[in-house]
């Protein structure tokens, strides 16, 4: 490990201890204000911490300043964090006397004879640490919000109140983080989707299913069109598979054993069926419907496949976590000797696609065999080696996540970084020897005998829904010209220029542009403002002079006034930007 990596690791560990300590201080403050509180868990998380609390009174964000004020007193008192140990049976007795039912639940799951406690001042909590030396070190802290959370994440359990907060070692770092949070709120895809009229979630239809409105559906159509053309250019073959299969297929694939809780299952005419949570079995059935020679391999089957997963309502989050979504899903059937080269090709393809959408930074993770898996250990070892070799051959840095692979094979996950430096899970490449065994996937070798094929599962964007949300937040709603549902708005100065404005729109539309005419009885500045709010790339202002000269006065949403130019010149500019698929805003 380099000195830079060592420093980064130590910094992360120090922040972890600080935020863990801040969570304790917060719980201590809540107990002072609400002595009847029952404490659950309070871990540090990425960028902050939280604590789950059982309170008879409902907290709101308005209560947070009071809790912060009490925290300030505890911090000022500078109590040392002191660790102690207690026999498990004594701890059970102690926490039972205090009525801490959630702590008792935790203690019952601890296998050791002793449990670890931490005390600061008048507050003692069940905890393994680590912590900073004293409460006085928790200086730059801010409580952010109140939310609900089920105990143990199970909606059958009682819903607790969760207070989120964050902490840093300096006020400057805290202020920088709060500024990033405000910017993240401004970019929130749920707000942008509503304001721009892209999509909605309808209560009547149930949670986690997306309704794309005309503008949002158009953006999605443009993404799909690009993805389809890119796959055709790389030799992928389009397929389409049904949404429901008999349960026997899902039993054979292992989904009923390893993925059943996420599946929608039903019966028809006495037969059990499952709505597909993944596209792979369908593609395997298509491959198996014909005989294939080794000369044909690799065979790359591609589908924009819509799948459904029975996610718990508590984890649903806008477009980022839904129950119904579409994947740019491909399954590649190949010989084992072709694996490394094909994986390398997929990596090149993925980075090309992501750059087109404006994502230039990424992280790569390799996830290995989980505790529950199908197939042989030898096959898993070969699959992991192939993934490693391909990544290393490309000179790509990667992190290993032990035990995080899919149940049927190890995988490479691609994470992209957005304009705020946040990482988002995106594409994936999974190497699978197990499903070809289960479905008897073979090809005729050079010797004329059947040989077992290997299967690569891969998606470049992953879920279209999730990617759409990421894209909106990355660009703050101001999508690149080639993706903007409305590329230009024509704004006539007066009603006398309406006919010319319509002619301009017709010319732009005939050349392939997406354009609207703002015919409202509003002032020009109001129309420009509304077009800016709608994130339209270009505003074409036309008055008497422009009408007489066959021109348009061009205004860009980011660069402002670009002056007048012949309509033909603007059309050429728009066509050039659209065809080049410039990823910036």
pLDDT tens, 301-340? 999 999 999 988 778 889 988 999 999 999 999 999 999 9
Q: Is residue 211 included in any domain, yes or no?
A: yes
- CATH (domain of 233): 3.30.930.10
Cα(32)–Cα(26) distance, integer angstroms? 10
Residue entry with tokens 């059937």: 333
CA nearest to 530, candidates 572, 569, 568, 486 = 486
271 is catalytic: no
Asked if 203 and 174 sit in the same domain, the reply is: no
> Per the structure, how many domains does the chain have?
3
CA nearest to 59, candidates 154, 144, 155 = 144
- CATH (domain of 492): 3.40.50.800
309 is catalytic: yes
Helix axes 171-187, 464-474, angle to 10 degrees: 120
Cα(366)–Cα(353) distance, integer angstroms? 20
Name the catalytic one among 31, 131, 323, 331.
331
Asked if 151 and 289 sit in the same domain, the reply is: no
Asked if 483 and 222 touch (Cβ cutoff 8 Å), the reply is yes
Name the catalytic one among 127, 280, 426, 431.
280
CA dist list (Å): 301 to 238, 274, 334: 6, 22, 11
Residue entry with tokens 């309502």: 313
Q: In this predicted model, what pLDDT tens digit does every residue of 134-173 receive, in sequence order?
A: 999 998 999 999 998 889 877 788 899 999 999 999 999 9
- List, for the chain, all residue ranges whose pLDDT scores fall below the cut of 70: 1-8, 582-585
329 is catalytic: yes
Asked if 206 and 180 sit in the same domain, the reply is: no
Point out which residues pair with 265 in neighbouring strands. 274
Cα(504)–Cα(498) distance, integer angstroms? 10
Residue 200: φ, ψ to 5°: -150, 165
Alpha carbons within 13 A on the beta-carbon side of 260: 11
Asked if 72 and 168 sit in the same domain, the reply is: yes
Q: Is residue 585 included in any domain, yes or no?
A: no
Residue 222: the pLDDT is 96
Cα(186)–Cα(192) distance, integer angstroms? 8
DSSP string, 354-369: HHHTT--EEEEEEE--
Q: What is the CA radius of gyration of the chain?
A: 29
Cα(419)–Cα(337) distance, integer angstroms? 39
Cα(294)–Cα(338) distance, integer angstroms? 11
Asked if 380 and 444 sit in the same domain, the reply is: yes
280 is catalytic: yes
Cα(292)–Cα(288) distance, integer angstroms? 9
Asked if 201 and 183 sit in the same domain, the reply is: no
Name the catalytic one among 38, 187, 457, 535.
457
DSSP 318: T
Helix axes 88-97, 101-108, angle to 10 degrees: 160
Contacts of 454 (CB under 8 A, 6+ apart): 333, 334, 335, 336, 339, 431, 432, 433, 436
CA nearest to 466, candidates 208, 194, 149, 195 = 208
331 is catalytic: yes
Asked if 349 and 381 sit in the same domain, the reply is: yes
Cα(538)–Cα(563) distance, integer angstroms? 12
426 is catalytic: no
Name the catalytic one among 52, 125, 329, 432.
329
pLDDT above 90 covers a percentage of the chain that reads: 76
Residue 1: the pLDDT is 47
Residue 4: the pLDDT is 53
Name the catalytic one among 411, 474, 475, 555.
411
Helix (H, G, I), strand (E, B) or coil at 569: helix
Domain boundary residue, one of 474, 501, 520? 474
Asked if 225 and 341 sit in the same domain, the reply is: yes
Q: Is residue 254 included in any domain, yes or no?
A: no
Residue 372: φ, ψ to 5°: -105, 120
Asked if 290 and 387 sit in the same domain, the reply is: yes
Asked if 92 and 173 sit in the same domain, the reply is: yes
Tokens coding 76:
């000022």
Show the domain range for 544.
Answer: 488-580
Asked if 357 and 215 sit in the same domain, the reply is: yes
Asked if 309 and 395 sit in the same domain, the reply is: yes
Q: Is residue 256 included in any domain, yes or no?
A: no
Residue 383 burial class via C-beta count within 10 angstroms: exposed 0-12, middle 13-18, buried 19 and up: buried
Name the catalytic one among 162, 187, 220, 327.
327
CB atoms within 10 A of CB 79: 18
Tokens coding 404:
């995080």
Contacts of 78 (CB under 8 A, 6+ apart): 134, 135, 136
CB atoms within 10 A of CB 286: 18
Measure CA of the first residue to CA of the last residue in the chain; give whole Å: 38
Point out which residues pair with 186 in neighbouring strands. none
Is the C-alpha dihedral spanning 411, 417, 422, 427 positive or negative?
A: negative
312 is catalytic: no
Q: Is residue 338 included in any domain, yes or no?
A: yes
Residue 5: the pLDDT is 54
């Amino acid at each position: 490990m380099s000195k830079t990596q060592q420093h980064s690791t130590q910094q992360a560990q120090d922040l972890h201890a600080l935020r863990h300590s801040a969570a304790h201080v917060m719980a201590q403050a809540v107990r002072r204000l609400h002595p009847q509180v029952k404490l659950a868990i309070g871990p540090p998380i990425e960028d902050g911490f939280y604590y789950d609390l059982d309170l008879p009174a409902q907290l709101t964000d308005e209560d947070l300043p009071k809790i912060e004020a009490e925290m300030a007193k505890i911090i000022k008192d500078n109590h040392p964090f002191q660790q102690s140990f207690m026999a498990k049976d004594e701890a059970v007795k102690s926490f039972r006397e205090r009525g801490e039912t959630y702590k008792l639940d935790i203690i019952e799951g601890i296998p050791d004879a002793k449990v670890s406690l931490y005390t600061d001042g008048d507050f003692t909590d069940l905890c393994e640490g680590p912590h900073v030396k004293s409460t006085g070190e928790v200086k730059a802290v801010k409580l952010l919000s109140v939310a609900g959370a089920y105990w143990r994440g199970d909606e059958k359990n009682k819903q607790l109140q969760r207070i989120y907060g964050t902490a840093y070692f300096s006020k400057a770092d805290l202020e920088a983080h709060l500024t990033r949070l405000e910017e993240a709120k401004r970019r929130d895809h749920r707000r942008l989707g509503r304001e721009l009229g892209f999509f909605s979630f309808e209560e009547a239809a149930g949670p986690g299913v997306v309704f794309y409105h005309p503008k949002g559906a158009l953006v999605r159509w443009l993404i799909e069109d690009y993805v389809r053309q890119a796959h055709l250019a790389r030799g992928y073959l389009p397929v389409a598979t049904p949404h429901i299969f008999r349960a026997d297929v899902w039993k054979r694939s292992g989904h009923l054993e390893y993925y059943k809780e996420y599946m929608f299952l039903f019966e028809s005419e006495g037969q059990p069926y499952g709505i597909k949570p993944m596209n792979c079995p369908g593609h395997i059935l298509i491959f198996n419907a014909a005989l294939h020679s080794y000369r044909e391999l690799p065979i790359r089957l591609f589908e924009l496949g819509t799948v459904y997963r029975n996610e718990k309502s508590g984890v649903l989050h806008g477009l980022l976590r839904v129950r119904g979504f579409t994947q740019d899903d491909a399954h590649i059937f190949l010989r084992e000797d072709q694996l490394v080269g094909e994986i390398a090709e997929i990596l090149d393809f993925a980075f090309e696609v992501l750059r087109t959408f404006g994502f230039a930074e990424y992280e790569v993770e390799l996830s290995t065999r989980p505790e529950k898996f199908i197939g042989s250990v030898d096959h898993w070892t070969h699959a992991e080696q192939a993934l490693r070799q391909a990544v290393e051959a490309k000179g790509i840095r990667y992190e290993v996540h032990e035990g995080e692979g899919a149940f049927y094979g190890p995988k490479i996950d691609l994470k992209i970084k957005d304009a705020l430096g946040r990482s988002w899970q995106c594409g994936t490449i999974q190497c699978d020897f197990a499903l070809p065994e289960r479905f008897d996937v073979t090809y005729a070798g050079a010797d004329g005998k059947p040989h077992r094929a290997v299967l690569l599962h891969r998606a470049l964007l992953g879920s279209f829904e999730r990617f759409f949300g990421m894209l909106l937040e990355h660009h703050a709603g101001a999508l690149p010209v080639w993706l903007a549902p409305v590329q230009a708005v024509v704004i006539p100065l007066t009603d006398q220029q309406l006919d010319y404005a319509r002619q301009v729109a017709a010319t732009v539309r005939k050349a392939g542009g997406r354009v609207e005419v703002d015919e409202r009885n509003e002032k020009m500045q109001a129309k420009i403002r509304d077009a800016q709010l709608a994130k339209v790339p270009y505003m074409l202002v036309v008055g008497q002079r422009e009408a007489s000269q066959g021109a348009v006065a061009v205004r860009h949403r980011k660069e402002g006034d670009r002056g007048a130019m012949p309509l033909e010149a603007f059309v050429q500019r728009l066509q050039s930007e659209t065809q080049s698929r410039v990823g910036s805003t």
